[in-house]
Structures are given as structure tokens and as C-alpha cells.
Structure 1
Amino acid sequence: MAKKKHEDDPFTRVKKWFKRNLTWVYFTLAIIFILFPNTSYSPLHDDWNSLLQKIGFVALTSGVFASVLKSIQFTGLFQEELTKIISGTEFLNNRKDLPELWKKISKSIYAEKFPEISELLEDRILTTYFPMDTHHYNEDLVVSIIIHDISEDFVINYTQTIEYYAILDSEENESNIVYTDTITDDLDVEEKNDLISFKVEGVEIDLDKCREVKKEEGKIKYIHRVPIRGKKKFKIFLKVKNTYSLKGENVKLLRFNTITKNVDVTVCYNKDIEVSFFNVGLVNDFVPIHVDMENTLSRRHRDDLILPRQGFGLSFNKR
């Protein structure tokens, strides 16, 4: 009750009114200082009247202007123009701290909700989903998989082709196309990934010159890195023949390492094989197409992006 009484105190109300209307009070006083000395009501000497006028003019041309400027600088025209400058492409392009700026903006969005995980969330989005270290994205990607057979010992043989366009960053003139194969290093397990063809703009790439081999945790990883440069758009073609056992896990995952727009998947198989399709980490799923075709599975992804580590999977069984 004491706090309420203090807020309703006449002096407090007057003080608040002056704060809200300080500009106009200041302006009114300045006008009075200018006009009053010229009236017959002024009892002051001419020198004092002249001094009051000068004070009024100074107040009007400095204090009032500054006060008015301060009161409108974040409204109307000033706010609009300031927003244009700060959010403009040229202003952002000249900044050298865009990752840090993005983190600060992100904190204003969710840090108060999730302070315990905000830093991890920022780093994950910035390093994984924003193309900071990648200078191209993929578009109009077509995956064709032909399953030749699944043996009685549950070993699958299939050929996979991937065709797409790599679209370079508008501010960069080069990038790298990276394709990675991983197989087990267990010699008793039947598993092969043969990269038959790797073409850029129809030109076959010498695979021995672009292959890097790494061994880690029972796996052998073959990394193929092909540089592209000199123009905006490149046609990429890959053809791979795979053989591996389905006994441990009867699925195949294809997850993209680059942001990808527009994907079509077609899988052809024998009538004694069952194939199921599932989405991996997508917000908007692939949709079925060509559903009336026998021994063929077709899916399409449009009107969205597939981000790194997202994609699709296939599971296999014999009928």
C-alpha cells in the first residue's frame, strides 16, 4: 500500500509529466525567453531583455533540437533508415565478425529459454548447418539404385549412380566436390565399394590422384576430393558398385554432406526382394511418385532443403 501511495503522490505525477513532456516544456520556455523581452510587460532593462533573447535563441537552436532529435531517433523516419543501414547487405558484407554477430542475435532469441545449451546449439548450427566452410550447394540431384541380387547368405549387390549440379558461392570462384566411401577392415567380411566413374562436366577424373585413405575404429574410409573452379555451375556424375553383407544391419543410409535442393530417388529390384524407404532427419519428408510401377521404388523431395547429415535410408529383405 505504501508503494501505491508513493506512485499516486502529486509530486511524483508532476515529475513524470515533466519527463514525458520535457521537449515541449523546453521549447515553450525558449519561446517565452525570445518573445517576452519584446513586450511592454517586461520590467527588465534593455540589456537584460537582450540577454534573455539570446538565451532563448541558444536554447531553441541547441537544446530543443537535440532533445527533439533524441526523442524521435528511434521512431518514424530515423528508425526506418537506421534499420535499412544495419540490415543492408553492404553493411553486413563489410563486417568481419558475422559468426559472432549471429551468435549475439541468436542469444537474444533463445538464450533466456535454454541458457544451459545455448552455446552448444549455436556452435552446432553454425558449423554443421550454415555453409561457412563450403562454397557450393547441390541442386537437382538424381539417385538411381539398381539392386542386382541378394544372395542366400544375405549379401547384397547393387549399382548406384548420382547426378547433380554443384552451384558455386556467388562470391567464391572455387570449391571441392567430396565423395566418401567407408567399408570394414575385417577381411572375413565380404564388402566392396568400387567407384567406377567420377565425372565433372563429362570429363572423367583420375581417381588415384584425388583419393585419400584413412583407417579408424575398424573402418577404412576412402575420401575423394575433386576441386572445381572457374564458373558458376558444374555437372557432377558418380557411379559406384557396392557389395556388402546385410546380416549385421539390413539398411543403407545416404546422408548428404552439402546443402541440397531438389532430389529424386529411384530404386529398381527383383521380385524376390523387398525394399523399404525411410527419411533421415528431414523436416519435410520425401513423397512417393510412380507408385504403380512394379519392382520400383520412387521418391521425390521438393520445396525445401536437405541439410548436411540429413538424407534417406533403405532397408532390404528377401521375400
Structure 2
Amino acid sequence: MNVITRIFNNKTFLGAVPWISFITGLLLFLFGTFANFDDDHFAELWSGLGKTMLAGALFALMLKSIQFMGVFKEELIEIIYDVKYLRNRVDLPEYWEKITKELLKNKFPAISQKVTKDVKEIYLPTTSVQYYDNYKQHVSIKVVDDAEDIVEVIQKTRFTIIPVEPNETFVHQFENTIHCGDCPELVNFEILKFKVNEKEQHVSHQSSFENKRLKTRYEVTLSGKSGYNIEMVVKKRYPLRCDNIIGAISSYIRHNFMVQFLHAGLTLDFIDIGTLQKFKTNNESQGFLEKEYQGILYPKQGYIAIIKKIK
């Protein structure tokens, strides 16, 4: 009994059942059709039994074929959407565009291509080699010359640079711009401190006057780490009549941003620039403002603050 049970539970036997039924049904049908019987009822009985078995076997074979195609389809889908397979595709931009159009349900066909292009190039960091994490600024502003309305700005900044390839060496560039109008001699910029992973770094910088602006560029070489904790302090002096805007709009993606302003004797109007949500006010009092953004700030997003002297 156990032997019979094992035979009927055997996967090979179960897989062969439709073929056994098909062959048996075909033989019975042929036997009933071509064999000589004294009674025609026996011929009809055998051929009918054969037809029944043939029909059942054909149905079972067709069902197994459909099941096989379903399994094959699932396996094919898994291969197509596997990361290793996608990584080797050379048509990912076109593939991305087709998927985005489908998600949009083909809305706005006249501008859909431009929408997908902007999303891919601006919001997806496909060309970025790093992003900023936990960006924190402390900005102290005070008037140092009432006659000329000159302010001194001490800006302390801390953040972590997260590179795409930790082991690669790359040069990270910074840039600062101050409008100087018709009084470039009253405008100044200097780096007071620059640290990478708690180690003091000597950072050379170049300043030049371009189109009534003082542009300062400086850079640091980074290598061999999965993250770089940057700490820098800069000092700026300039007349408010030439430049009364402080801003932080980066070319890089920033994850989480917090800024504090100390602005004794000055008013400050904070404006969100291009953000998907507004900066949240954590604390505000006379001469002090703290704002925070939880989430992703994309390139060309950030804030500006307009400062004015209290009369």
C-alpha cells in the first residue's frame, strides 16, 4: 500500500498523468473506431471513453501550459526588474520617460517630455557626486559703522558631505558672492576657520570683482572617507546699501537644514526659495530667529533673508 501511495504522490508520475491519459484515450478511441465488434454498442462505448479521456488529457495539458507560461512570465518579470539587469541597460533615460508618462496617464502631452526631463535632471541626483547632510548655519549680523551702514556678518556652518564613491578623491568647491555696488573698497570676505573631520585645513581662496560683485572661490580636496564633517567660519563686511540679502541656495542636494540668526538692531525678513514646503519657525524673538527644514532641499532651493537697519 505504501509503495502504491509513493507512486501516486511522485511528482514525475503526476506530471506524466496527462500524457498517459492522452495516449490511453487515443488508443481507446482508435480501438473503438477501427476494431470489429459484433455489437455496435461496444464500439461506441470504447470510442466514447477514448474521446472523454482525450478531452480531459488535452484540457490538462493546456492548463499546465498556461501555468508554465504564468511561471515563465513571473520569472521574466523578475529578471527584467532585477537591479543587475537594469544597471546594464543603455536605454534607462528612455525607459524612465515611458514609465513617467504612464504614471502621468499621458496628461499634458505637449509638456510631458519637458516635465520628465526636469525631474530627471533636477530632482534625481544622477550627475551628483555628493550631497550635504544635516546642514546647520549660525549667522550673526551687527552694524559696525553707523555712518556708512556697514554690517559685519559672522557665518558659522556645519554639515556632512556624503560622497557617492567613498574611496575616490574629489575636489569640493565653495563660492560666496557679495554685491559691492560703487564701493568695492568697503567690502571684505575672509575665512576664519575651516575644518574637515575635526582637523584644521588650510584653504586657499581667490577673490575677484566681477560685475560689481565680490566673488570668492575656495576648495578642499577630500579622499578615502564615507563622510566628511565640514566646519567653517567666514567673516564678511559690506554696506547695507550695496547688499542687504543673505541667502543659502546651493548647487547640491541638502538633507535637513537649520539656520539661526542673531540680528541685534536689524530687522530680518525670511523668504523660502523654491522649496516644496516652508521652513518651520522653531524660535523667534527680538533680534533672534531660528528656522528649520526637515527633508530634502534640491539644487536652487533654499532661502534668502532681507536685512534692514532699524531707524
Alpha-carbon distance, 1:171 to partner: 7.0
Which runs of 5 or more structure 1 residues have no equivalent in the other structure? 1-27
1:168/1:175 contact within 8 Å kept: no
Q: Give the gaps of 5 or more residues in structure 2.
A: 1-17, 37-46
- Structure 2 equivalent of residue 312 of structure 1: 303
SS at the partner of 2:257?
strand
| Count of aligned positions | 275
Q: Which residue of 2 aligns with 1:24?
A: none
- Partner Cα distance (1:172, 1:146) in 2: 37
Helix, strand or coil at the partner of 2:34: coil
| Residue in structure 1 matched with residue 235 of structure 2 by the alignment | 241
Identity, in percent, stands at 22
Relative to structure 1, is the Cα distance of residues 299 and 96 closer, same or farther in structure 2, using a 3 angstrom cutoff?
same
**Mapping of 1:114-153 within 5 angstroms?**
114-149=108-143, 151-153=146-148
Partner of residue 276 from structure 1, selected from 269, 273, 276: 269
Q: Match for residue 300 of structure 1?
A: 292
Which of 174, 183, 204 is the matching residue for 2:200? Answer: 204
**Which residue does 2:62 correspond to in 1?**
64
Contact persistence 1:267–1:297 (CA under 8 A):
yes
Q: Is the 8 Å Cα contact of residues 133 and 256 (structure 2) preserved in structure 1? A: yes
TM-score (norm 1): 0.70
Cα RMSD, aligned residues only: 3.8
Q: 1:89 to 1:95 in 2, by over 3 A?
A: same
The higher radius of gyration belongs to 2
The answer on whether the counterparts of 1:181 and 1:221 sit within 8 Å (CA) in structure 2 is: yes
CA distance in 1 between counterparts of 2:132 and 2:175 reads: 16
Which segment is superposed worse, 177-186 or 131-140? 177-186
Q: Is the 1:135–1:174 contact (alpha carbons within 8 Å) kept by the matching residues of 2?
A: no
Equivalent residue runs for 1:1-319 within 5 Å? 35=25, 37-39=27-29, 42-44=32-34, 64=62, 68=66, 73=70, 81-110=75-104, 112-149=106-143, 151-169=146-164, 173-184=168-179, 188-189=183-184, 190-208=186-204, 211=205, 219=213, 221-247=215-241, 250-270=244-264, 272-291=265-284, 293-302=285-294, 304-319=295-310
8 Å Cα contact 1:277-1:314 kept in structure 2: yes
Would you say the 8 A contact 2:141–2:152 is kept in 1?
Answer: yes
Shift of 1:253: 1.9
Query: C-alpha deviations, 1:206-243, integer Å up to 9, x for none?
Result: 333xx467876554543323232211111101222122
User: Does the aligned pair in 1 maintain the 2:166–2:227 contact within 8 Å?
Assistant: no
Q: Secondary structure at the match of 2:116?
A: helix
Shift of 1:244: 3.0
